[in-house]
Amino acid sequence: MHLGVRRDGFAYIEGVPRDLVVATGAGSFDSLEQSRQHHHRKAQLLYTVRGIINCEAADGIWIVPPQCAIWIPGGLPHATFGSGDIECFCLFLEPAAAPNLPLECCTLAVSSLLRHLLIRATELPERYEIEGRDGRLVSVILDELAAAPVENLRLPIPADARLKKLAELLLGNPADHATLAEWASRVGLSERSLSRMLTQEIGMSFGNWRRQLHVILALRRLTAGESVQAVALDLGYESASSFVTMFRKMVGTPPGRYLMEQKKPA
């Protein structure tokens, strides 16, 4: 059972009376296709060992680079798909068992300890002993998940129809470096109104929002093996160095170092 898990599979998972259910162990999915939008009562954790997982919901787009995980709260309509050769772990958790975890979808950084705990969880029997050693392991996993830092790898999608149209235009042509006034005109807004609405709805300036989109698109392609030079030019940057400067400003480290750190083996 993997990211494209059948609806009857979700129904089965919902009925397992345990705080944590492992739907799959490590698996390699070379041709993972986008799942239809769906939701389930239990919260879901997807931890990727190799490749990038993408998650889309009404209010945002998230990416999950290697050695990170995405937390999907129970009941949230979403769709998931992979970029490149995917190897991941998929776990479902009872919402009541994880009250300290985020109430919104987010990408989580996975520590070395949590990484090993998640791998160990794939060996748990479906109906593990709650009061025994396995139950204690699950409790530690929940504690470590609650302490995991959130990675800033989300592109927020506004609710306003005009801003949604702007997001679609940006996604369709990320290399278009039109001015703020030009983008505002394309969606029937004034420059001032566009800036104000973005700040109110997503808490970001237009410039930061567009740069966040570029980071997300770049990571999808860089993880698939494309060069920094090719990605930079396709996103409309004059040079690889200007793209690297932007990436470092947004993420805190250059793309090469970031990917190297994410690929460190468990």
CA distance 49 to 34: 19
Structure tokens at 117: 């705990």
Q: Which residue has the higher pLDDT, 7 or 198?
A: 198
> What percentage of residues in the chain have a pLDDT greater than 90?
58
Per-chain mean pLDDT for the chain: 87
CA distance 198 to 194: 6
pTM of the entire predicted model: 0.78
* Structural domains for the chain: 7-151 (2.60.120.280), 157-262 (1.10.10.60)
**Could you read off the pLDDT of 71-119 as tens digits, one per residue?**
999 999 999 887 667 788 889 999 999 889 998 999 998 998 999 999 8
Residue whose C-alpha is closest to residue 101's, from 62, 132, 145, 136: 145
Return the pLDDT at 6: 44
Strands (E), 58-200: 60-64, 68-72, 79-93, 106-109, 150-151, 154-156
Q: How confident is the model at residue 2 (pLDDT cuts 50, 70, 90)?
A: very low
Angle at 262 between CA 257 and CA 265, to 5 degrees: 120
